[in-house]
Structure 1
Amino acid sequence: MHRHFNSRPTPFLSGLAGLLLWLAGLSLAIAAAPASGWRSLDDLRTGRIGYVTGMVFDGFLHQHYPEAKLPSFNNPSDLIQALKSGKVDAAVLARISSRAVVQVNPDLAILDDHFMSFPLGIGFRQDRDALRERFDRYLARIRADGRYETIHRRWFVDDPEQAIMPDLRPPSPRERYVLAVAVADLPYIAYKDGRYIGFDIEILQSWAADENFDLQIQALDFGALLPSIAAGKADIIADGLAITEERRKAVDFSAPYGEEQGAAIVLAANLAVPSANTTAERAAGAGLQTLADLARVRIGVPTGT
């Protein structure tokens, strides 16, 4: 004898299924929403983190946050616009650049400014060993005679937006080299009042004036710097370049001229509220405090640095 089973769901089962689906949707919404309780980057492992194409943060983020969505942008301006418009929840830049961005954007704030560090240098074409060695000797000279400190103070200690770039020209240049740069932001390189300015520009132009050669500057997106020098289209590249083993495959670096740290920028409204006293208050009022707190949010980063 065969029993007949009604294939139509009972009202109870239909209601239960609907409830489960509703709860599942609610849990997904909670996980994806920019909640105020994020405390570590681990909370953002499924979020969106933005960076500038070609920057050193690319490898770091992909290695440490493989489940996050990591959109890249051609330049810092596009990255910051994405942050402000809600396309990303955090933007990763060099710390010094992040401070400059926050200074002119009161709606933004630095979340974490020490999650990684890296040495900086000038990049040279791999068949320009003699030129790189000349620069290294020059860098050692200006460190010894105090000129490096003067340049460093102008762009990193004092307000770079108020810095007056000296007029540095070789008296009668006997050589010419192509310098490719990414015009991103101060203190490294910017274009203002019809001329290139910034720490990297002043260091290189003072070297050129000192040794009587000309630098022909070409502006590129950051992500195009390494391909440009690898293809022989540039002799030198600059813009706060992080020295990494991966990049050494395509370019020779000078001796390090400094060190930089990575920083994450978020909307100021998403920063933690430090005055909460109880567990309930902290759960309800806490915001973003460290880069780890972005595991479930969206973070933007400039391409290439």
Structure 2
Amino acid sequence: MEKDLEDAGILLELAVEEADADTTQEAADQIHELGRRIHQFSLNTMLDGDDDANNAILSINAGAGGTEAQDWAEMLFRMYLRWVESKGFKSNVIDFQPGDEAGIKSVTFTVTGQFAYGYLKSESGVHRLVRISPFNASGKRHTSFASVFVYPELDNEIAIDVDDKDLRIDVFRASGAGGQHVNKTSSAVRITHLPTGIVVQCQQEKSQHRNKDMAMKVLKARLYEAEKRKQDERLQEIHDGKDDIAWGSQIRSYVLHPYQMVKDHRIGLDVGNVNSVLDGDIDVFIEGVLLSGKA
């Protein structure tokens, strides 16, 4: 990108010297495209979390307030589906609880696409809507809340690849109870997995080869268990973050009356085109939060 910027600068200098409008436009196009690439590069550097490249699981729950809140939850659901379509991602509803009269009480769906979780994780929080109620004949202004929570989709298929260079294998003579020798050859095997410090050994078989095979099976089982525990702890950490989502701590407000504006409270960003946002144009908020480092 540095090289391309230098080339575009040289092209622009030549265009100015020769007062060549076509070349000036060519240089401007190159700089515009470079700006887009730099912006994307900046985003990619922020998507470096352990789970950012994963698919996402997104849940929307209506807050207190009955039909008003349930209608708002459905509006948010539509907004995210539109965003998913605009990205070329795929969605799949896995749980849907319709509202009593309108809207939805809750919905959970998966979003499949590269960096889906990395992009959507910043949407977790309380979303607040202010509007004239369509369900109230007196036409009073009403505030509704819905919570959004985003999990990474974790791969249940944990592949355990053991690299030989990560292993220290020791052989020794097996011994039975009371210290008596079971055999006179070094058939027992101890395997130490250096990265994790896990140690397993087997001395039940007379063959060193069979003891090694059995020890490797035990090692892989213990590595699998350790990885599974890490996954569970990671999900628990993410889940514990829900405690911060209280009805008074909204991340974004969508105001339809008495004026129109969407405001992200974390980065102080205001957007006037509410309809566009509710149609899924939320990249400006997602990217703004990512680039601020507050995701």
Same fold, TM exceeding 0.5?
Answer: no
Q: TM-score, normalised by structure 2?
A: 0.24
User: Highest relative contact order (Cα 8 Å, sep 6+), 1 or 2?
Assistant: 1
Larger radius of gyration: 2
More strand by share: 2
